[in-house]
A = this chain, B = another copy of it.
Amino acid sequence: MAKFERIPTPAVRRLSLYLRQLERFRAADRRTVSSRELGDAVAVSDAQVRKDLAYFGQFGHPGIGYRIAELIDRVRRILGTDKQSNVLIVGVGNLGRALASYRGFAKQGFDLVAAFDDDARKIGTRLTESIRVKPMDDLVKTVAGHQIRFGILCVPATSAQAAAEQMIAAGIRGILNFAPVTLQVDAGVAVSSVDLAVHLEQLSFQLGGGRYGAGKAADV
């Protein structure tokens, strides 16, 4: 592990973008791709593609480029999504319901297996074909029973920290956080936050909406 500790977060983010694009190439029946073609498709330079991949090993074949199926397998192994992982949702408001119906998760190795809310009126209601909303008291049992490590948190800001602590106490180790708060978590717990207002502010800045716009597009 130590060997890889210095990999910059943006490089890991780009691995996801490469993976998404490689899957599209494969769906279009392509077998190989050059770093330039892959870079062009996701708007980064070919040098950046090679550099990002070089953190993890040797992937290209001289005179061929990358073999798409092989590179997909290897990137998935690097990201740890070569096996399906179980995921739960805490907070079944509009956003929770939208996320539950988002098909991208399963395709990328994440199976939504349970949903929780502390609103008694929601408990027992159907979220998807196979999932009914459970009370927060069932969190510990469900996490253990389904070996769930990842949780999606979409409760209001005011209850986010408390809900996150319940998730962590139950054994969750990675939280995708949609509440507009900075969660305080112990070392060993990973948090990725999606604050939608932040994204809009970044766009506003890029468009020079203030006095300082830089005009460059940012991604994820």
Which of the segments A63-71, A129-137, A138-146, A196-204 contacts the partner chain?
A196-204
- The one of B16, B82, B199 in contact with A192, judged by C-beta atoms closer than 8 angstroms, is B199
A189 and B217 within 8 A (CB): yes
Q: Which chain A residues in 197-220 approach chain B with CB under 8 Å? A: 197-220
Write the A36-80 contact mask toward B (1 if CB under 8 angstroms, else 0): 000001110000000000001000000000000000000001111
Q: Beyond A4-B212, A218-B192, is A200–B42 a contact (Cβ under 8 Å)? A: no
Does A17 make an interface contact (CB < 8 A)?
Answer: yes
Copy count, this protein chain: 2
Q: Beyond A94-B101, A190-B203, is A182–B17 a contact (Cβ under 8 Å)? A: yes
How far does the Cβ of A150 sit from chain B's closest Cβ, in whole Å?
A: 6
- The one of B181, B191, B198 in contact with A217, judged by C-beta atoms closer than 8 angstroms, is B191
Q: Beyond A12-B202, A98-B95, A180-B20, is A220–B194 a contact (Cβ under 8 Å)? A: yes
Q: How many residues of A contact B (CB 8 A)?
A: 84
Write the A151-191 contact mask toward B (1 if CB under 8 angstroms, else 0): 00000000000000000000001111000111011011111
Does A110 make an interface contact (CB < 8 A)?
Answer: yes
Residues of chain B within 8 A of A191, CB atoms compared: 203, 217-219
Residues of chain B within 8 A of A220, CB atoms compared: 192-195, 198-199
Residues of chain B within 8 A of A210, CB atoms compared: 77-82
Q: Which 9 A-B pairs have the closest CB atoms?
A: A80-B209, A174-B203, A80-B210, A108-B197, A94-B98, A190-B206, A98-B98, A16-B198, A80-B204
